Amino acid sequence: MTLDVSNPFAAPSTLPYELPDYSAIREEHYEPALRAGMAEQRQEVEAIATSSEPPTAENTLEALERSGRLLTRVLHAFFNQVSADATPGLEDVYERLSPELAAHRDAIYMDARLFARVRALAEAAEAGDLTLAPDEAWLVRTLLKDFRRSGIELDADSQAELRRLNGRITELEAVFARLLLAGEKASGVVVTDVAELEGLPDDAITAAAASAASQGHEGAWLVDLQLPTQQDVVSSLARRDVRERVQRASESRGAHGDDNDTRSTLLELARLRAERARLLGYEHHAAYVAEDATAQTTDAVNAMLGRLAPAAVANARAEGAELTALLHRTEPDAGLRASDWAYLSEAVRKERYSLDDALLRPYLGLERVVRDGVFEAAHRLYGLSFAERDDLVGYHPDVRVFEVFDAPEPGEKDQGLGLFLADWYTRASKRGGAWMNNLVDQNHLHGQRPVVVNNLNVVKPPAGEPTLLSWDQVITLFHEFGHALHGLLSDVRQPSQSGTAVPRDFVEYPSQVNEMWAWEPEILRSYAVHHVTGEPMPAEWIDTMLASRQFNEGFSTTEYLAAALLDQAWHQLAPDEVPTSVDDVAAFEAKALAAAGVDYAPVPPRYRTTYFNHIFGSGYSAGYYCYIWSEVLDADTVEWYRENGGLTRANGDAFRRRLLARGGAQDPLASFRDLRGRDAEIAPLLARRGLDL
């Protein structure tokens, strides 16, 4: 199939850094481009498989890396847009073509001829007849593992069944994401009396009115929902009944028995994933996932989560007792609810530390946090600088494009490094949460420089009003930019090893490290400036913030661990153990949380099953544990920075050279050991979270 030359994907973009030309790309361009990309790669792979030449790194490894360029550039643009600015047409293409894309991948990784060529390279290298570069040797190892995990050793009938399972699983993941997006937008809480919003900052009330108007609720206010269970607005709403309405709306998403109910979809997904794992010889889906991660086994995952959960819940219960005492000052007989937690904990924080989010927000303007916080830390650590490119457009009018410049050595002239696209605001067409995508992968094989995107879901203020952030949103900005740095500072030859192409339980590590600079006093004082007066945040407030870092940590750790354990519970099931009725979903969840010892009602999981997009609509199935696993590396690396002088160019260059630049071109734990000089230790994590055992 040849792609019409008028299609914007027919040739690489001529824009700087090959930024997709979103001014020309329309919805109808994606499907023909995807089909043409698959057809083109099939031809390229067939040529490799049928080559009469003995396999070499050039005619096999490099040839495979060169294949599929059209498909790659379309998929990057498509997946980014369908997650950040979806339309019914794009969602339809996603659902219809997902099985075909899965079948396309299967055709490559179930090709015995390709497998034989890669295996021959491995055998020749092992025998000493062939010398592979280190990144090539790691690529051979990765490919052989991928072939095996894709069913290359199965018989023909089993491979056919595996293809069916892969196609249906991919289709269902797309369905879940679509249902969740629709349900999330339909679950916002409409308020008709502004008095019910007592406690919300004025800018949040104004934004709620604008959101209501945009959804046809003139004269009302709409509290939009975020993806996690806990909603930011609950920390400010003074009326207990309104907080409970918001909490119930949040926790019931995907379970209403309506057109957006996700339960039948997730049950089928859990069962089919279990069937696929069993077909491939694994005990369950979680074992299949763990083998491809640094954890290696579910025993290791279970041991980590099991070690942390009791201490976390004990901390949460102690915090809950304090909040209950506060609640009883006004309602002596009331029991502590999940909807009370954020509001009461803010009151405790304000009382104990004389701070709350409402006090901090005027000092946390988005523009200043980005320029003098996120970008400034990257400049001091890595020599990066940023210039906004108003002449370049993204996939939505809210998207801003920055060119990134690099001075490889202090004092050297800046060089163009890549592009950074910032998409901060929530909208009806955007899924919840925060994430990073690649539009172009850095690689020397094709001479491509990186183009990366950060997505957040900050409520957009009315025109002319500043965007003021909560402290959690500031941390999210730094976190997601850590992913962006992993992509921007990649320095590898092979596209498949670029930047964040590392195991799922390693990929969060660099982004979590980048959060430390939000707290760095020198950086914090640079960006924490009042958006009207220009006055810096009072020094005593900053000192208080630093002193309060472990505040509410029992809650934070418990809600996270509950979600991670819930993920493992669903994915450590055999096929016949998966519930068959949608009415059983809530009961299974409750039983799993109780069995893990994290069933503390005032602290529900960060994501309940029915809106757990990470594991049912995204790529984190049986892998949500990765955040805490990565945090072991992160906390140990923070200690490394402190031991070596903190925020310095020398430290940044070392972290860049030894870890960020290497991407997936070698064992990622070897990259960590090269930086740290040893394996990671858990003690810094336990101390950080107040979990010293």
pLDDT at 356: 79
pLDDT in tens, 165-211: 999 999 999 999 999 999 888 889 999 999 999 999 998 999 999 99
First to last CA, the chain: 61
- Measured between alpha carbons, how far is 674 from 664 in angstroms, rounded to an integer? 14
pLDDT at 352: 87
- Measured between alpha carbons, how far is 494 from 664 in angstroms, rounded to an integer? 9
Task: Please answer whether residues 32 and 3 qualify as being in contact, where contact means their C-beta atoms are separated by less than 8 angstroms.
Answer: yes
Q: Domain 283-352+552-693, what architecture? A: Orthogonal Bundle (1.10)
Give me the residues paired with residue 458 across strands.
425
The CA-based diameter of the chain, rounded to the nearest angstrom, is 83
For residue 408, the one-letter residue type is: P
Q: Domain 16-109+111-149, what architecture? A: Up-down Bundle (1.20)
Confidence band for 621, pLDDT divided at 50, 70 and 90: very high
Quick check: do 283-352+552-693 and 362-547 share a fold?
Answer: yes
- Non-local CB neighbours of 121 within 8 Å, separated by 6+ positions: 55, 56, 57, 60, 61, 130, 132, 140
pLDDT in tens, 405-453: 998 676 667 799 999 999 999 998 999 889 999 999 999 999 999 999 9
- Measured between alpha carbons, how far is 481 from 488 in angstroms, rounded to an integer? 10
Domains of the chain, by residue range, sit at 16-109+111-149, 187-251, 283-352+552-693, 362-547
pLDDT at 693: 52
Q: What are phi and psi of 132, to 5 degrees?
A: -105, 145
Q: What are the angstrom distances between the C-alpha of 68 and each of 146, 499, 545?
A: 17, 19, 49
- Measured between alpha carbons, how far is 237 from 641 in angstroms, rounded to an integer? 39
Residue whose structure tokens are 């590590």: 509
> Which 3 state secondary structure label does DSSP give 520?
coil
Q: What tokens appear for 693 in the block?
A: 């055992």
Mean pLDDT of 41-62: 97
pLDDT in tens, 464-511: 999 999 999 999 999 999 999 999 999 999 999 999 999 999 999 999
| Average per-residue pLDDT for the chain | 95
Task: Please answer whether residues 369 and 478 qualify as being in contact, where contact means their C-beta atoms are separated by less than 8 angstroms.
Answer: no
- Measured between alpha carbons, how far is 660 from 664 in angstroms, rounded to an integer? 9
Torsion, Cα of 389, 394, 396, 400 (10° steps): -30
% of the chain at pLDDT higher than 90: 91
3-state helix, strand, coil in the chain (%, to 5): 60, 5, 35
Angle between helix 338-353 and helix 240-251 axes, rounded to 10 deg: 130
pLDDT at 410: 65
Q: What are phi and psi of 525, to 5 degrees?
A: -70, -25
pLDDT at 690: 87
- Measured between alpha carbons, how far is 514 from 483 in angstroms, rounded to an integer? 9
Determine how many CB atoms are found less than 10 A away from the CB of residue 690.
15
Q: What tokens appear for 139 in the block?
A: 């690529």
Q: What is the DSSP string of 307-350?
A: HHHHHHHHHHHHHHHHHHHHHTTT-TTPPP-HHHHHHHHHHHHH
Element (H, E) at 7: none
- Say if residue 411 is exposed, middle or buried (CB neighbours under 10 Å; 0-12, 13-18, 19+): exposed
Backbone torsion region of residue 88, taken as left when φ is above 0, otherwise alpha when ψ lies between -120 and 50, otherwise beta = alpha
What pTM value is reported for the model? 0.91
- Measured between alpha carbons, how far is 677 from 561 in angstroms, rounded to an integer? 29
The CATH number given to 362-547 is 1.10.1370.40
Nearest Cα neighbor of 523 from 398, 311, 380 is: 380
- Measured between alpha carbons, how far is 119 from 135 in angstroms, rounded to an integer? 16
pLDDT in tens, 82-113: 999 999 999 999 999 999 999 999 999 999 99
Q: What tokens appear for 34 in the block?
A: 């995807």
CA 359 vs. chain centroid, Å, equals: 29
% of the chain at pLDDT higher than 70: 99
Give me the residues paired with residue 387 across strands.
403
pLDDT at 411: 66
Task: Please answer whether residues 209 and 175 qualify as being in contact, where contact means their C-beta atoms are separated by less than 8 angstroms.
Answer: no
Torsion, Cα of 217, 221, 222, 226 (10° steps): 160
Task: Tell me which residues are annotated as active site.
Answer: 480
Q: What tokens appear for 151 in the block?
A: 């069913």
Q: What tokens appear for 549 in the block?
A: 């870092």
CA angle 634, 640, 646 (to 5 degrees): 105
Q: What is the DSSP string of 409-422?
A: STTSPPEEEEEEEE
- Measured between alpha carbons, how far is 509 from 511 in angstroms, rounded to an integer? 5
What radius of gyration do the chain's Cα atoms show? 25
- Say if residue 265 is exposed, middle or buried (CB neighbours under 10 Å; 0-12, 13-18, 19+): buried
